[in-house]
Amino acid sequence: MKKIEAIIRPFKLDDVRNALGDKIHGMSVMEMKGFGRQRGHSEVYRGAEYKIDFVPKIRLEIICKDEEAENLIAIICESARTGKIGDGKIFLSDVQDIIRIRTGERGEAVI
Protein backbone atom coordinates (compact mmCIF):
# COMPACT_ATOMS: atom_id res chain seq x y z
CA MET A 1 0.00 0.00 0.00
CA LYS A 2 1.09 3.59 -0.62
CA LYS A 3 0.39 6.93 1.00
CA ILE A 4 0.17 9.91 -1.33
CA GLU A 5 0.60 13.31 0.32
CA ALA A 6 -0.02 16.23 -2.01
CA ILE A 7 0.44 19.88 -1.10
CA ILE A 8 -1.52 22.03 -3.54
CA ARG A 9 -2.93 25.51 -3.98
CA PRO A 10 -6.25 25.96 -2.12
CA PHE A 11 -8.24 26.98 -5.22
CA LYS A 12 -7.21 23.76 -7.00
CA LEU A 13 -8.84 21.46 -4.42
CA ASP A 14 -12.15 21.15 -6.27
CA ASP A 15 -10.35 20.46 -9.56
CA VAL A 16 -8.29 17.68 -7.96
CA ARG A 17 -11.28 16.17 -6.14
CA ASN A 18 -13.38 16.15 -9.32
CA ALA A 19 -10.53 14.66 -11.37
CA LEU A 20 -10.01 11.86 -8.85
CA GLY A 21 -13.75 11.15 -8.87
CA ASP A 22 -14.53 7.54 -8.03
CA LYS A 23 -10.92 6.37 -8.45
CA ILE A 24 -10.36 6.74 -4.69
CA HIS A 25 -12.28 5.46 -1.69
CA GLY A 26 -11.37 8.30 0.66
CA MET A 27 -9.17 11.32 1.16
CA SER A 28 -8.12 13.51 4.08
CA VAL A 29 -7.85 17.27 3.51
CA MET A 30 -6.05 19.72 5.79
CA GLU A 31 -5.54 23.46 5.54
CA MET A 32 -1.97 24.45 6.21
CA LYS A 33 0.59 27.18 5.69
CA GLY A 34 4.18 26.87 4.58
CA PHE A 35 6.88 28.02 2.21
CA GLY A 36 9.32 26.51 -0.22
CA ARG A 37 12.15 27.99 -2.24
CA GLN A 38 10.08 31.11 -2.73
CA ARG A 39 10.18 31.95 0.98
CA GLY A 40 6.73 33.54 0.79
CA HIS A 41 5.90 36.62 -1.22
CA SER A 42 5.14 40.34 -0.91
CA GLU A 43 1.72 41.93 -1.35
CA VAL A 44 0.48 45.49 -1.36
CA TYR A 45 -2.59 46.36 0.74
CA ARG A 46 -3.89 49.94 0.88
CA GLY A 47 -0.58 51.27 -0.37
CA ALA A 48 1.54 49.40 2.17
CA GLU A 49 3.73 46.52 1.13
CA TYR A 50 4.00 43.59 3.50
CA LYS A 51 5.63 40.18 3.34
CA ILE A 52 3.70 36.94 3.63
CA ASP A 53 6.13 34.39 5.06
CA PHE A 54 3.76 31.42 5.09
CA VAL A 55 1.63 30.77 2.03
CA PRO A 56 -1.76 29.04 2.48
CA LYS A 57 -1.85 25.51 1.04
CA ILE A 58 -4.01 22.39 1.13
CA ARG A 59 -2.59 19.01 2.08
CA LEU A 60 -4.28 15.89 0.73
CA GLU A 61 -3.62 12.39 2.02
CA ILE A 62 -4.72 9.33 0.06
CA ILE A 63 -3.99 5.70 0.89
CA CYS A 64 -4.12 3.37 -2.12
CA LYS A 65 -2.96 0.04 -3.47
CA ASP A 66 0.55 -0.06 -4.94
CA GLU A 67 -0.69 -0.46 -8.50
CA GLU A 68 -3.00 2.59 -8.26
CA ALA A 69 -0.40 5.07 -7.00
CA GLU A 70 1.18 6.21 -10.28
CA ASN A 71 -2.19 6.79 -11.94
CA LEU A 72 -3.44 8.85 -8.98
CA ILE A 73 -0.22 10.90 -8.93
CA ALA A 74 -0.61 11.67 -12.65
CA ILE A 75 -4.20 12.80 -12.09
CA ILE A 76 -3.22 15.04 -9.18
CA CYS A 77 -0.31 16.57 -11.14
CA GLU A 78 -2.47 17.30 -14.15
CA SER A 79 -5.40 18.77 -12.23
CA ALA A 80 -3.34 20.82 -9.71
CA ARG A 81 -0.85 22.31 -12.19
CA THR A 82 -1.00 26.01 -13.05
CA GLY A 83 2.54 26.18 -14.43
CA LYS A 84 3.60 28.82 -11.92
CA ILE A 85 5.94 28.70 -8.94
CA GLY A 86 4.17 27.37 -5.87
CA ASP A 87 2.02 24.67 -7.51
CA GLY A 88 3.05 22.26 -4.74
CA LYS A 89 4.64 18.87 -4.15
CA ILE A 90 3.63 15.22 -3.95
CA PHE A 91 5.22 12.79 -1.51
CA LEU A 92 4.86 9.03 -1.93
CA SER A 93 5.60 6.62 0.92
CA ASP A 94 4.99 2.99 1.80
CA VAL A 95 2.32 2.03 4.31
CA GLN A 96 3.08 -1.08 6.32
CA ASP A 97 -0.40 -1.74 7.65
CA ILE A 98 -3.82 -0.18 8.17
CA ILE A 99 -6.18 -1.07 11.00
CA ARG A 100 -9.87 -0.19 11.05
CA ILE A 101 -10.53 0.76 14.66
CA ARG A 102 -14.21 -0.24 14.68
CA THR A 103 -13.74 -3.83 13.48
CA GLY A 104 -10.04 -4.54 13.91
CA GLU A 105 -9.70 -5.38 10.17
CA ARG A 106 -6.19 -5.03 8.77
CA GLY A 107 -4.50 -4.52 5.41
CA GLU A 108 -5.85 -3.62 1.96
CA ALA A 109 -9.41 -4.62 2.91
CA VAL A 110 -9.54 -1.46 5.04
CA ILE A 111 -8.86 0.92 2.13
pLDDT of residue 40: 65
The pTM assigned to this predicted structure is 0.86
User: What is the CATH number assigned to the segment(s) 2-110?
Assistant: 3.30.70.120
8 Å CB contact between 12 and 80: yes
8 Å CB contact between 42 and 34: no
Q: Count of CB atoms within 10 A of residue 6's CB?
A: 23
**Percent of the chain scoring above 90 in pLDDT:** 71
Tell me what the mean pLDDT of segment 17-21 comes to: 96
Provide the pLDDT confidence category of residue 9 given band limits of 50, 70 and 90. very high
Residue 110 in this model has a pLDDT that exceeds 70: yes
* Half-sphere exposure (Cβ direction) of 90: Cα atoms closer than 13 Å: 19
pLDDT of residue 41: 63
| Predicted confidence (pLDDT) per residue in 41-90, tens digit | 666 777 777 677 788 999 999 999 999 999 999 999 999 999 998 899 99
Where in the chain are the domains? Answer: 2-110
Q: How confident is the prediction for the chain on average, in pLDDT?
A: 91
